Amino acid sequence: MVSQSANLASRLWNTSVTSQHYASPGAEKYQAAVLEQYKLYVEMADRISARRSLTNTFFLTVNTGFLAGASALGRFALREVPVWGLSVATLVVLFQCGVWLLLIRSYRQLNRAKYSVIGELERKLPALLYGDAEWGELGEGRSWGRYVRLTNVELAVPVVFAALYLVAVGVTVAMR
C-alpha cells in the first residue's frame, strides 16, 4: 500500500512547478490567471458531463415510453397494424437509437479533448489532479476491475433497445 501511495504522490505533484515559480515578480498574477482559467475549464467540463447525463435520461425515457406503448398495443398490433406501419415505426426507433449512439460518441470525444486540455493546464499548477493522479489511480481505464468507462456502459444501452425493438417486431410479424 505504501508503494501505491508513493506512486500516487509522484503522479499528483508536478515537480516542474515549485514554490519558486510563485516567488518571481509577476508570477502571482500569471499563476492566478492560470488557476482561474483552470477552474473555469473544469466547470465547463462538468457542464458537458451534466448535459451528457440529461441527454441519456431523455433517450432512456423516450425508449422506455416506446416499449411501454408497444406493450400496451400488444394484441392490437398483432391484428390491426399493417406490416408497413410496423416497419416505419421500427425504422424511426432504430434511427433515434442511432442518433443516441452518435451523441454518446460526440460527448466522449468532447470530454476526452476537455480532459486533455485540463491535464495540460495542470502542468502549470502544483498538482496534476485529473490527467496524471486520478486517471493513473483508475488504471487509465485499461482494467474493468479498477474502472469501467462510462462510455462503454452508455453505448450498450441504445444497442440493447435497438435489439429489443428488432426482436419485438420479429415476434409480432412471426405471430401473424
Mind listing the pLDDT tens digit for each residue in 16-75?
A: 877 777 777 778 888 888 889 899 999 999 999 999 999 999 999 999 998 888 888 776
Q: What are phi and psi of 124, to 5 degrees?
A: -95, 0
Query: What was the pLDDT predicted at 1?
Result: 45
Distance CA 31, CA 22 (A): 7
pLDDT at 6: 65
Residue found by looking up cell 462510462 in the block: 150
Could you tell me the end-to-end alpha-carbon distance of the chain, in angstroms, rounded to an integer?
Answer: 63
The model's pTM is: 0.79
- Rounded alpha-carbon distances, angstroms, from residue 11 to 30, 59, 125, 163: 24, 38, 13, 43
Domain that includes residue 74, residue range? 2-174
For the residues 130-157, what does the mean pLDDT come to?
A: 86
Name the least confident of 95-99, 108-112, 132-136, 163-167: 132-136
Do residues 14 and 125 lie in contact, with contact meaning Cβ atoms separated by under 8 Å?
Answer: yes
What was the pLDDT predicted at 2?
A: 47
Of 39-48, 72-81, 114-123, the least confident: 72-81
What does the alpha-carbon distance between residue 79 and residue 31 come to, in Å, rounded to a whole number? Answer: 71
Number of compact structural domains in the chain: 1
Nearest CA to 100 out of 143, 139, 47, 63 is that of 63
- How high is the pLDDT of residue 72? 82
